[in-house]
Structure 1
Amino acid sequence: MATFLTLPAPRVLWLPGESFFSLCSRQHVCSGNLSPKITSESLFGLWHRSIKHDLPCGMRAFEERTGGFWGGADSILTERTILPLFAPFQSEITMLSAIETLKGNQLGALKYRLGLVTGGFGAEHPLKGCPECLDEDMSITGVPYWHLAHQYPGVLLCPVHGSLLRECTHNRHWCGRFSWNLPSREIFRAPLIAELGEGDRALLRTLGQAAVDLAALGFKKWFEPSVVSRTYRQHVNRAALFKDHVATLRRFHPFEGLPSSNQEAEVFVAQMTRKPRGHCHPLKHLLMITWLFENVQSFSEHYRRTASSMQLPRLVAANPCASVEETSISPPSIGTLRPKKLIAHIRSQLIEQLAQGLSKPAICATFSVTISTVNKLLRAQPELKAAWEKARFDTQLESCRHVWNTLRSVHSDKGTKALRACSPATYAWLYRNDRHWLKAHVAMQKGVRVRETALVDWDERDLRLRELVEANLRQAYAAGAQGSRLSRSSLFALVPTLASCLEKYGRYSRTRAYVSALLDVKPRVQSEIEKGEAHQSMPQLYLGQV
């Protein structure tokens, strides 16, 4: 089979700031291949359905087939893809494993391991481009290409021109999923927001610069999750409301799911400031950084200070040849001598106190006896030992129950896990010694928690998604899109989150019915649709089949 090294096609060179996917796309065009399958097999030895524009796989085969002409797999992954953006807040072992995965032929569950699938921003990273950069590239290099700085999640403005980036409608799972593409105005989705205020533009610029700076750290710096959460906690009280910080971002993809209420904002901040249970999406960290510190450099400095304060003091070994005066070890001192035999009246008082459940250290301090004397007395009298153990158990039981009930009353809005974190020793003792009572009260706490916790309201989500589809359609067609056919791909381009939401079968029934009506109805019955409640005040649409 013909490979890259045996084909006579010209070989393109790297352009300034170009992404790896862009290089492969330009090579595909220069090779004159009519099918993306030919280029994929030539460069990677893989089927064209393995084409990934964000996190490419098959890099080991790419390096071997190209003879390292464009660099090694490691250098390409760390310098020409968006992978470095996810590195600083992950562990070094995780990222080294990610590189090995991308060198293989399958992406597998890598995006899940990096926290992208469950991060709330989606694991899809659409190609983005700047029309002004497109014109400049054509005039300078004669060819358009994808800029790596535009592709990082969180970058919504062009770092050079400050204009809104346009999302590409190709290489999406609903349109042209596996293909080699170069940027052009024809495949750019027009932004739904035409003008930005100066405050909104400043926020988007700050977030985009933070994403670029975080990617620049790449594999050079690793942030410890426990130190990160503590750094956030130290500055949360001095910050403004998080809901106000992200209000502007909620209008843009993929930030539609950011908190819209004070309660949702509190949950988000609590998740980022509590003891970390895993690694989360870097966009969440970027939102916290721009909210609390404004930029990555300031956050790194505060992180360094927090990490220094959390370091344990080093233990310096003593010099074995040093004198007693030169070491920190003090010479043995003569302690207070204690009687080896118990006087009768002291013995009777000691037995009385033991029967009441007084602790051994308290007995030793009160009667000036050693702990071994107390143990000998208990072993000599099994009845006394049983009475002492029962009294101690009853005292501890009453104390732990009192502590747990106090926690429940003070933190009535908290769940069992939060109460357990307040006093781990109390929970552990009750779990070992009074489990039945603890389970009964845990069940009561769970009942309170279930009633007060805001569960996922799928009906509300369905309603908001349907309203979003209607609003985007009105806005798009009011801007002069009349006469164009509404197809499935164009609808998904208008509402980027719609495709992933509709994949949840059994959910979003109203939105699903609304979309089905839009895509299935022909123009001759358009007037009937406009009479419906969902289409009131909606401009004239020319609806086509999927």
Structure 2
Amino acid sequence: MNFFPTPYPDEILYSTLGRYSIRSGNLKEIHNFEDLFSTRSSIATVELPVKLDALISNMPVDTLYTAEYFVKHHTLFPYYAAFIPPERAEEIINAMKDGNGSLTYIKLGLVSYSIDLNQYLRFCPQCFKEDIKIYGEPYWHRIHQITGVFICPKHKTPIYNSKELIRAGNRQRFINPTSDNCIVEKEIQYTDKVMEKMLWMAKDIDNLLKGGFKHKDQEWFKSQFRAKLIEKGYARMNNYIHQKKLKQDFQEFYEQEYLDLVQSPLSDSSQCWLSTMVRNNNRVTYALRYLLLARFLEIPLDTLFHVKLGWNTNSNNIGLKSIDSYKELWQERLKELAELNLSVREIATILNSTPKTIRKSIDELGITPFWKYNGGGRYIKKKYIETEEFKTKRRRSRKKWGELLDKYPDKSSNQIRQDHQSLYRWLSKYDIDWLRQHARKNKGRRNNVDWKQRDEELVVKVKQVVKEMQEGKPERITWTTVGSKLGVSGWMSKRKDKLPLTKQYIESVQESLQEFQIRKIKWGIKQLEKEDMEITLWNLVEVAGVKPRYMKSIKEDIKKSLLESGYECNFL
């Protein structure tokens, strides 16, 4: 190339290459790719462009641009890779430099997060006008192209979809913003509450793009979040997390409308992204979710990356600098309390912990207690079940259970158990044979079920589960899979006739094996588009996970799906 346009502030590289294409004088668009990358096989990628080394080698003589400069200042890498370890970040930069496009999306986890990237190039009407006034032409801004950004942080106004699809049609051309494709057909209105949260997120993401934050290992972020979770009462030092309270407060803070918009709703499942994120694991999740949690815990972005968080207790106690120092002090205090001959429960209360954690810590620290843990008693030479205290407890517990059976003749043992958990647990642990002999089954229990009400409540939950299954990575929709996700597969399938609403809905959406394979193929096409991978039979089958024995029966359906997505199917 004998010239190259100067990138504008916050201009995405795709836009700069588009401006080159306008000025190049090439009659065919494919010739622009030869100029830029010395190849005709490249694809115009918006988020994470590749073959940057080839681009630099084709630059005018004595150019000051480098591949690293473009990656950090004119692509979405600083955002998508903000929370990944340094080693992986380096691998992704190298992949962007040498041209391995699919590797960048895989290593960033954009395939596995079930996050739908933007379908259209996006613009801010105010920026569009301002760019023409200042630079004589509009351009695509980085911040506007990020999934989860709905507000321009500069003008505090909504951003809009252009008419140009990112992953459709001819992928070997660069599309520039114009007055024809950047039209506001209908103004978007958000509520004040949602607008406030959108502005928070837009500003945080803008800071990530511009801030040059250094990459950290997951252990760093895990420690930062854990410190704040403990400080705010959502976690204990024993790694216990108050998941239910955390979810409730998080949901209340952001509200459902906003969480749905940023593709981060909270489910009741233990595999909910928030639950998984605060557990003791090293999995990287979508960058926006780190920002959601940081904002909720009131951790400024600079602090999150640069300041090691700890706890500050009241003025009479020692300021704690880290989890390790806190743990060390906690253990010293535990040793002191054990020497005072306090009970496990008393120590747990003083240390704001649980008896189970105290027992575990005593064993780990090698503390020799003056008591033995046998049924809660303090016995050295005898087992708990050999003591008079145990015999007295057993006698009273049996008597109490018998009285409850007499008092509630129409209730089963399980129904009585609901209001007398402590008694039932003790008998289950120490007198299970006697308890089984004195258990009662309620033969009329099934007749007491209000199946109409149960059906009405169940069908709502089933619809939500099916929606999640249809939107995420393909899972076959059947009675069994739906029931398993709800934890009721044991009886739901057996009671179909008593659940007419549920039955009618599941039968309307359940899939045959062939229908399921076709849905996997359609999902696979979208995944390959996200990764900018070539659509070949092998790639499609591998990503979609379709077994060879099904290929013959769905061959025509694969052709149809490919044609609908604008692809040739000569390889079939």
Does 1:92 pair with 2:86?
yes
Change in CA separation of 1:101 and 1:249 when aligned onto 2, cut-off 3 Å: same
The within-5 A match list for 1:59-208 is 59-66=52-59, 67=61, 69=63, 71-123=65-117, 126-188=120-182, 194-208=188-202
Does 1:505 pair with 2:512?
no
* Contact 2:50–2:95 (CA under 8 A) maintained in structure 1: yes
Q: Deviations over 1:193-221 (max 9, x none)?
A: 72122221111000111111223344524
Change in CA separation of 1:176 and 1:229 when aligned onto 2, cut-off 3 Å: farther
Residue aligned with 1:109, SS: helix
1:258 is aligned to 264
Letter in structure 1 aligned against 2:143: A
* Contact 1:243–1:262 (CA under 8 A) maintained in structure 2: no
1:339 is aligned to none
Q: What CA distance in whole angstroms lies between the structure 2 residues aligned with 1:193 and 1:248?
A: 19
1:310 to 323, 328, 346: 323
Cα deviation for residue 95 of structure 1 reads 0.6
Structure 2 gaps of 5+ residues are: 235-244, 312-319, 327-365, 371-460, 473-514, 523-564, 567-572
Change in CA separation of 1:189 and 1:283 when aligned onto 2, cut-off 3 Å: farther
Q: What CA distance in whole angstroms lies between the structure 2 residues aligned with 1:147 and 1:507?
A: 34
The size of the alignment, in residue pairs, is 334
* Contact 2:126–2:155 (CA under 8 A) maintained in structure 1: yes
Cα deviation for residue 228 of structure 1 reads 4.2
Cα deviation for residue 59 of structure 1 reads 0.7
Q: What CA distance in whole angstroms lies between the structure 2 residues aligned with 1:218 and 1:87?
A: 12
Residue aligned with 1:168, SS: strand
* Contact 1:458–1:508 (CA under 8 A) maintained in structure 2: no
Cα deviation for residue 96 of structure 1 reads 0.7
Cα deviation for residue 142 of structure 1 reads 1.0
2:278 to 273, 281, 284: 273
1:26 is aligned to 19
Residue aligned with 2:158, SS: coil
Change in CA separation of 1:111 and 1:456 when aligned onto 2, cut-off 3 Å: farther
Identity, in percent, stands at 18
Structure 1 gaps of 5+ residues are: 314-360, 366-453, 466-501, 510-544
Cα deviation for residue 292 of structure 1 reads 2.3
* Contact 1:129–1:165 (CA under 8 A) maintained in structure 2: yes
Change in CA separation of 1:508 and 1:101 when aligned onto 2, cut-off 3 Å: closer
Residue aligned with 1:128, SS: strand
Change in CA separation of 1:17 and 1:70 when aligned onto 2, cut-off 3 Å: farther
RMSD: 4.3
The within-5 A match list for 1:362-377 is none
Residue aligned with 2:91, SS: helix
Q: What CA distance in whole angstroms lies between the structure 1 residues aligned with 2:107 and 2:462?
A: 25
* Contact 1:128–1:167 (CA under 8 A) maintained in structure 2: yes
Change in CA separation of 1:39 and 1:112 when aligned onto 2, cut-off 3 Å: same
Q: What CA distance in whole angstroms lies between the structure 2 residues aligned with 1:232 and 1:122?
A: 30
Letter in structure 1 aligned against 2:109: G
* Contact 2:80–2:287 (CA under 8 A) maintained in structure 1: yes
2:467 to 455, 460, 464: 460
Q: What CA distance in whole angstroms lies between the structure 1 residues aligned with 2:76 and 2:62?
A: 20
* Contact 1:19–1:80 (CA under 8 A) maintained in structure 2: yes
Q: What CA distance in whole angstroms lies between the structure 1 residues aligned with 2:275 and 2:54?
A: 44
Q: What CA distance in whole angstroms lies between the structure 2 residues aligned with 1:157 and 1:302?
A: 29
* Contact 2:56–2:66 (CA under 8 A) maintained in structure 1: yes
Does 1:227 pair with 2:230?
no
* Contact 2:82–2:213 (CA under 8 A) maintained in structure 1: yes
Cα deviation for residue 169 of structure 1 reads 3.8
* Contact 1:153–1:211 (CA under 8 A) maintained in structure 2: no
Change in CA separation of 1:243 and 1:191 when aligned onto 2, cut-off 3 Å: farther
* Contact 1:128–1:165 (CA under 8 A) maintained in structure 2: yes
Change in CA separation of 1:231 and 1:48 when aligned onto 2, cut-off 3 Å: farther
Change in CA separation of 1:41 and 1:301 when aligned onto 2, cut-off 3 Å: closer
Q: What CA distance in whole angstroms lies between the structure 2 residues aligned with 1:200 and 1:102?
A: 35
Residue aligned with 1:61, SS: helix
Change in CA separation of 1:172 and 1:42 when aligned onto 2, cut-off 3 Å: same
Residue aligned with 1:127, SS: strand
Q: Deviations over 1:418-440 (max 9, x none)?
A: xxxxxxxxxxxxxxxxxxxxxxx
Change in CA separation of 1:243 and 1:105 when aligned onto 2, cut-off 3 Å: same
Residue aligned with 1:186, SS: coil
2:298 to 293, 298, 303: 293
The within-5 A match list for 1:370-389 is none
The within-5 A match list for 1:427-438 is none
Change in CA separation of 1:171 and 1:178 when aligned onto 2, cut-off 3 Å: farther
Change in CA separation of 1:226 and 1:62 when aligned onto 2, cut-off 3 Å: same
* Contact 1:289–1:295 (CA under 8 A) maintained in structure 2: yes
Q: Deviations over 1:167-209 (max 9, x none)?
A: 2342522344332112234334758772122221111000111
Q: What CA distance in whole angstroms lies between the structure 1 residues aligned with 2:102 and 2:94?
A: 12
Does 1:44 pair with 2:37?
yes
* Contact 2:79–2:208 (CA under 8 A) maintained in structure 1: yes
Q: Deviations over 1:470-523 (max 9, x none)?
A: xxxxxxxxxxxxxxxxxxxxxxxxxxxxxxxx99833799xxxxxxxxxxxxxx
Q: What CA distance in whole angstroms lies between the structure 2 residues aligned with 1:189 and 1:89?
A: 35
Cα deviation for residue 277 of structure 1 reads 3.6
Bigger mean CA offset, 222-231 vs 199-208? 222-231
Does 1:245 pair with 2:254?
yes
Letter in structure 1 aligned against 2:309: R
Letter in structure 2 aligned against 1:136: E
Q: What CA distance in whole angstroms lies between the structure 1 residues aligned with 2:104 and 2:463?
A: 27
Residue aligned with 1:108, SS: helix
* Contact 1:150–1:165 (CA under 8 A) maintained in structure 2: yes
Change in CA separation of 1:149 and 1:461 when aligned onto 2, cut-off 3 Å: closer
* Contact 1:44–1:58 (CA under 8 A) maintained in structure 2: yes
1:15 to 8, 22, 26: 8
Change in CA separation of 1:64 and 1:300 when aligned onto 2, cut-off 3 Å: closer
The within-5 A match list for 1:468-483 is none
* Contact 1:230–1:273 (CA under 8 A) maintained in structure 2: yes
2:49 to 28, 31, 56: 56
Letter in structure 2 aligned against 1:233: L
* Contact 1:231–1:303 (CA under 8 A) maintained in structure 2: no
* Contact 1:128–1:151 (CA under 8 A) maintained in structure 2: yes
Bigger mean CA offset, 241-250 vs 456-465? 456-465
Q: What CA distance in whole angstroms lies between the structure 2 residues aligned with 1:27 and 1:105?
A: 20
* Contact 2:121–2:145 (CA under 8 A) maintained in structure 1: yes
- Which structure has the bigger radius of gyration? 1
Letter in structure 1 aligned against 2:6: L
Residue aligned with 1:283, SS: helix
Q: What CA distance in whole angstroms lies between the structure 2 residues aligned with 1:180 and 1:65?
A: 18
2:315 is aligned to none
